[in-house]
A and B are shown apart, each in its own frame.
Chain A
Amino acid sequence: MDSLGYLVSGFGVATTMQNLFYCLAGAVVGTLVGILPGLGPIAGIALLIPATFSLNATSAIIMLAGIYYGAMYGGSTTSILINVPGETASVMTCIDGYQMARKGRAGPALAICAIGSFLAGSLAILGLVFLAPPLADAALAFGPPEFFSLMVFGFVVLSNVTGGSLLKSLMMAVLGLIIGTIGLDPVSGNPRFTFGQVSLLGGIEFVAVAIGLFGIAEVLDNAEKPDEVLEQRVLVPRFRELYPTLRDLKESLGASLRGTGLGFGIGLVPGPAPVLATYASYMLEKRIAKHPEQFGQGAIQGVAGPESANNAACQSAFIPLFVLGIPFAPPTAILLGALLIHGVNPGPNMIAEHPDLFWGVVASMYIGNTILLLLNLPFVPLFANILRIPKKILLPLVMLFCLTGMYSVNNFMVDLWIMLGCGALGYLMRKWAYEGAPLLLALVLGPRLEVAFRQSLMISHGGFGIFVERPVSLVFLLATGGFLLLPLFRKVARSLGRRAATVS
């Protein structure tokens, strides 16, 4: 009841003319940085921090938070239209979203993303209002051993996310792990696999690999097609087909709700939560789908689930930031910097010390999500019309967007070379039917897995018992074992059943 009362006063703060304006500004900028490949919420927030110096803390955070969740709306646009992930959490959306667009259903895909994001955002804020303090405490139970076991579980469950050949998926995952070892060793600080190159000390930029494997590879793949194909437009959508049908909505509702739940939970775990949430949601939808063979061919659930999951994860990532003062995800680390510069040092007392700020920002998230839905739906026809551009003009533009977008992330030329190299790799991978998603997952999880593993062993002075002695860690390890053995059990059960049938 207390929370509700505070929330009402929060709406009072959020609905002043000034704060409404900054909420709108944040949502618009967020959508834009989400759409531009490479430029993501991290860069967007960081670049606008100086612009907030003259604002009060509440208005500043309302705007900067708007950029973060706004980017989750915008990120799906380029994934669907041109197979380039607009930001890292939109990698999974490329898979079925782009297939939908190729079948002339870009409009419904874009609209479902906006609707799913809205649903997820609104529900996750409820979680933020009512569950924040207990959830934050639960998150603290995750130390290095628990984190390691969770990562192992995630790795095993998600590595074959797109289906296809398990062997090829594992090969790609291992390649991702290898790429992830480049840079300074996390324990000794010694350079590894940098071959004396200063530019590799910080490791390989995830965004460069993601855009290369998806976007650049797509352009290369198309470039070799005959001229007649390049003269064609990707599709010419009819207006009636721009918005989802009732059947689309029905099919995607369940996926959105499940994605919301998954995303909200994963958002509480330290790490790149929105990315992992999208993988997990895609995997879940495929597992429980009536027609799993449609996944990879343009299944609407494969778009609705992950897009809802990344929005929910992005909202719940505010819980550790506001309640513990600790950023679990990189964009919230930048928000922490913004809070500090405005004289707010978030910690256990923040909600009590700055109720106006906390409840004002939470209330503004409702308003922001509504603004984003209203902002994104009318633009669906406009964006879908991009596909009317003949391919021979569209593809060079895509290349240009990828190059400028990537450079804008770190202002660093080496990232561009890595992106182009990954583009060439991605092209070859397509020719021989290797998936990019497991490689990207391994690149995200690998370094964290390694750090958690070595931290655990350092804490236990080398004893492996630490992974099974701690209950949370043991549960994840058992779940991993169960998952691996499940197909075996099924096989045994089936053959036993068959034997029983022949006997009778």
Chain B
Amino acid sequence: MRMAVSLILGLVLALGMAGAAPAGEFPAKEVQIIIPWAPGGATDLVFRALAASTSKYLGKAVVVVNKAGGAGAVGYTEAMQARPDGYTLVTAATPLTILPHQATTAFTYASFDPVINVVQDPAMFQVRADAAWKALPEFLEYAKKNPGMITVGNSGAGGGVHLIALAFQMAAGVKFNHIPFSGGGPSITALLGGHVHAVSCSPPEGIAHVKAGKLRIIALFSEKRFDAFPDVPVVREQGVNFSMGQWRGLAAPKGTPPEVIQTLHDAFKKGMEDPAFVKNAADMTVNLAYAGPAEFGKMMAADHERYAKLVAEIKKQ
């Protein structure tokens, strides 16, 4: 009996060791990406496509697992607690640097090691095509004369585009009336129906309507002009020193060996450059923007500071 028990124990131990593959042979099994949101959202779609195109460069399958709940906090908490061996990654997106300021979370961006940034979505204000304001100066002039009268929809209280709209009004020295909606879709619907004056959003939200001539981009917050609309100037060209966008990349639990991160980074970079993925991204009007681990880490740190101030600002209201 005792023999049997020790035999089983030994077997279990041996299996456990086999599970923890020796370093140097990374990857020995499939790599899992935790997405802290429900399937079907923008982050989910981008990283499912990236996972499909990266598998062949990594030599092992890349599997996507959705762990929704707690506005993303559940997935990040679980990823933070995963073994830092490179087999569990998480999609690091803007909310990672916002959530810790809104609620008491176990994690911040510093609980993770950056791997790669994949997407940088430009944020923008859209208005109806029949709006009186044809360009940014008129829009801001009206806003200055009528503080709080321009209603600006966003995709959710404390979400990325809400905070970006707040940051923009501070930079431009005006005051808008911010109306939160439950998602980008509902905010665009309200704009089309004329229930709000403008909407703060990120592509692909509203882009089809801009192309159809129903909506107009009145303020674009990216560094460079947007490929799809080369005629639309960014706000920096029009005298407002401001740019802000939302990024989506990959991170690993803190303490993942640097050489493993390097292997992952190289594979995902090739996956990003894969023609099939490039086409997928273009079809979704997703703006690919590569950044390596060091640079991505700096982006997260900078936004963490920035959002701390902005969240404090809305909590005052």
Residues of A whose CB lies within 8 Å of any CB of B are 42-43, 45-47, 49-50, 53, 139-144, 183-191, 194, 196, 198-202, 270, 320, 324-328, 333-334, 336-338, 340-350, 410-412, 414-415, 448, 451, 455, 458-459, 461
Contacts and interface: CB of A to CB of B under 8 A. Distances in A.
A189 B70 contact: no
Contacts of A194: 103
A333 B39 contact: no
A346 B205 CA distance: 10
A415 B188 CA distance: 31
A432 B77 CA distance: 40
Given A201-B69, A202-B74, A341-B49, 12 more contacts: A46-B66, A47-B39, A142-B193, A188-B158, A188-B317, A189-B158, A194-B103, A198-B103, A202-B70, A202-B71, A340-B285, A349-B212
B40 A340 contact: no
A187 B194 CA distance: 21
Contacts of B133: none
Pick the most buried of B40, B48, B66: most chain A CB atoms within 10 A of its CB.
B40
Contacts of A338: 40
21 contacts: A42-B40, A139-B189, A143-B193, A143-B194, A184-B102, A185-B157, A189-B157, A190-B102, A199-B70, A324-B192, A326-B185, A326-B192, A337-B45, A338-B40, A340-B204, A341-B49, A342-B283, A343-B283, A348-B212, A451-B180, A455-B179
Interface of B is mostly: mixed
B74 A455 contact: no
Contact of A458 (B68, B102, B179): B179
A459 B38 CA distance: 30
Contacts of B188: 326
A351 to B, nearest CB: 11
Contacts of B158: 184, 188-189
Contacts of B49: 53, 341
A189 B67 contact: no
A388 to B, nearest CB: 37
B157 A345 contact: no
Interface in B185-240: 185-186, 188-190, 192-196, 204, 207-209, 211-212, 214
B311 A189 contact: yes
Interface string B159-200: 100100000000000000111111101101110111110000
Given A53-B52, A326-B185, A410 B67 contact: yes
Contacts of A415: 69
Contacts of A334: 39-40
Contacts of B70: 198-202
Interface in B3-30: none
Contacts of A324: 189, 192
B85 to A, nearest CB: 21
Contacts of B284: 340-341, 343
Contacts of B121: none
A198 B106 contact: yes
B40 A333 contact: yes
Pick the most buried of B42, B69, B77, B196: most chain A CB atoms within 10 A of its CB.
B69
B157 A186 contact: yes
B285 A327 contact: no
A140 B128 CA distance: 13
B248 to A, nearest CB: 14
B148 interface: yes
A248 to B, nearest CB: 39
Nearest to B74: A199
A347 B211 contact: yes
Contacts of A344: 283
A485 to B, nearest CB: 30
Interface in B31-54: 38-42, 44-45, 48-49, 52
B38 A410 contact: yes
A459 B185 contact: no
Contact of B185 (A53, A333, A345): A333
B269 to A, nearest CB: 21
Contacts of B159: 189
Given A188-B158, A326-B189, A347-B208, A49 B39 contact: yes
B2 interface: no
Contact of A270 (B186, B209, B211): B186
Nearest to A191: B103
Contacts of B71: 183-184, 201-202
A340 B157 contact: no
A190 B208 contact: no
B38 A46 contact: yes
Contact of A412 (B41, B69, B180, B186): B69
Contacts of B285: 340, 345
A320 B317 CA distance: 34
B195 to A, nearest CB: 3
Interface string B270-295: 00000000011011110000000000
Interface in B44-95: 44-45, 48-49, 52, 65-71, 73-74, 77
B302 interface: no
B45 A341 contact: yes
Given A188-B158, A201-B71, A340-B283, A140 B193 contact: yes
A42 B68 CA distance: 13
A341 B178 CA distance: 31
B34 to A, nearest CB: 10
A201 B158 CA distance: 13
A326 B196 CA distance: 16
Nearest to B65: A411
Nearest to B151: A459
B145 interface: no
Nearest to B281: A341
Nearest to B158: A189
B283 A184 contact: no
Interface in B287-308: none
Contacts of B52: 50, 53
A348 B162 CA distance: 26
Contact of A411 (B67, B156, B192): B67
A142 to B, nearest CB: 7
A328 B181 CA distance: 13
Nearest to B177: A458
Contacts of A198: 70, 73-74, 77, 103, 105-106
